[in-house]
A and B are shown apart, each in its own frame.
Chain A
Amino acid sequence: MSRPLPILIAEDEPVTRRLLESALREMGHRVIATSDGLAAWEAIRRHRARIVIADWMMPGMDGLELVRRIRAMPDSSYIYTILLTARHEKQDVVAGLAAGADDYVVKPFDRDELMVRIRAGERVVRLEEELARRNEQLRRLTLIDELTGIGNRRAFDESLRRLHEHSRRFCHPLGLIMADIDRFKAYNDTKGHEAGDDALRAVARILKESVRTGDLCFRYGGEEFVCLLPETTLDGALIVAERLRDRVRDAGLPHPGNPPFGVVTISAGAYALEPGALITPEELLGRADQAMYEAKRSGRNAVRAWRTPALQL
């Protein structure tokens, strides 16, 4: 028997309720018994019930309404619902299933039949759990850069959108650093692609270890990296960028094709959304990118900020 599931019973008639409880306990499940629809509705959410067995006729809220509410719950795991009814007229069965019930059991119920129907529900619930787990796994995979293990371009786009929106709304600053490995093509050409991959991994690790808690690093593509710095103005972003540049150079990875430094270095551009400013995520990224090219032009292994051009009156 696998892990027990929390199963909720909503039944106002005590003998039937006790019979249901005893059958479910025998199956090894965790049973929450309630005697009316409203109490059931509360308990379903509190105990995160995965299977619900509800009597059709109950005081407060009937089983049909309970099923409708369960189906309208946002963001919940699938809850398998079984309606218990003394009726077996076709239109009632149809109404119950149309309201979203997965199954129905006619009272007085047969114990063995109830158990196999519960088992069918268990299969659905466990399948849904497995599916949700794998979806989460896949979602994570789609956000991670396979080579370096840090966030990828897609993760960056998501984070930038989210943080930009948040910062704009609450008038907080948001810093952004664009960093590019200097003369990486020459590195690959002389040392081979495997060494190139090692260098990318090393730089990713240095960036990740050199930013502050709460800062985020991503591989933007090729030999380009980008860092998002929440609650950080341009001055703050420049301090972080200088530290990144220092740490990469100090790691001393030999790179003869990168004179006069002789080691792997980065050029970085910084920009920040200042509190209250009206710039888009694209502008934020584009300006840091322009500043990064400025750093390249200045001789590499350098940091530059994008500065607002003087106002033309």
Chain B
Amino acid sequence: MPDIQAVAPVDLAEGLQRAGNDRAFYKELLEMLVADLPRQAAEMRTALERGDLEALRRTAHAVKGAAASLAAGTARELAFQIETFARSGRPDGIAPLITDLEQEGERLRAFAGEL
């Protein structure tokens, strides 16, 4: 896995294209994603503690979808890994990935603030 700090949190050109090249709309959607992330991370932790991998997978799937739609590559990749671990019944590596995802959320929040 590459050093996540070194990569831009979104591919802005692609993200803007997905939002019809409407910068304000793209910013709004990115802020939506950022605002939802803490709640989703908490949900995934709770699901992990309960051993409910199916609920964990569903939440990770939703995060992945939103991140992919906005070309937020790192967030998408982290969510995809969580989803994959959850689907294959391997909860061990998931907790640190949720922490990484939260940190990535903060980077996205800072990025969105400057758009």
Contacts and interface: CB of A to CB of B under 8 A. Distances in A.
A19 B62 contact: no
A94 interface: no
A108 interface: yes
A23 interface: yes
B33 A86 contact: no
B12 interface: no
Contacts of B20: 22-23, 26, 111
Interface residues of B, number: 19
B17 A16 contact: no
A83 B50 CA distance: 33
B95 interface: no
B interface SS class = helix
A13 B65 contact: yes
Pick from A12, A16, A23, A26 the residue with the most CB of B within 10 Å: A16
Interface in A4-39: 12-16, 18-19, 22-23, 26
Contacts of A86: 61, 64-65, 68
A246 B44 CA distance: 88
Contact of B66 (A14, A23, A57): A14
Given A15-B33, A19-B18, A107 B69 contact: yes
Contacts of A111: 17-20
Given A19-B29, A22-B19, A22-B22, A14 B36 contact: yes
A12 to B, nearest CB: 7
Nearest to A20: B69
B32 interface: yes
Contacts, number: 51
A14 B65 CA distance: 10
A299 to B, nearest CB: 84
Interface in B39-71: 61-62, 64-66, 68-71
A16 B69 contact: yes
Contacts of A14: 32, 36, 66
Interface string A76-118: 0000000000100000000000000000000111110000000
A108 B61 contact: no
Interface in B8-46: 17-20, 22, 25, 29, 32-33, 36
A108 B71 CA distance: 9
Nearest to B21: A111
Pick from A13, A15, A18 the residue with the most CB of B within 10 Å: A15
Nearest to A23: B20
Nearest first, the 10 closest Cβ-Cβ pairs linking A and B are A15-B66, A108-B68, A13-B65, A108-B69, A13-B62, A16-B69, A15-B69, A15-B29, A16-B65, A19-B69
Interface of A: 12-16, 18-19, 22-23, 26, 57, 86, 107-111
Given A16-B66, A111-B18, 11 more contacts: A13-B62, A14-B36, A15-B69, A15-B70, A22-B20, A22-B25, A107-B69, A108-B18, A108-B68, A108-B69, A110-B17
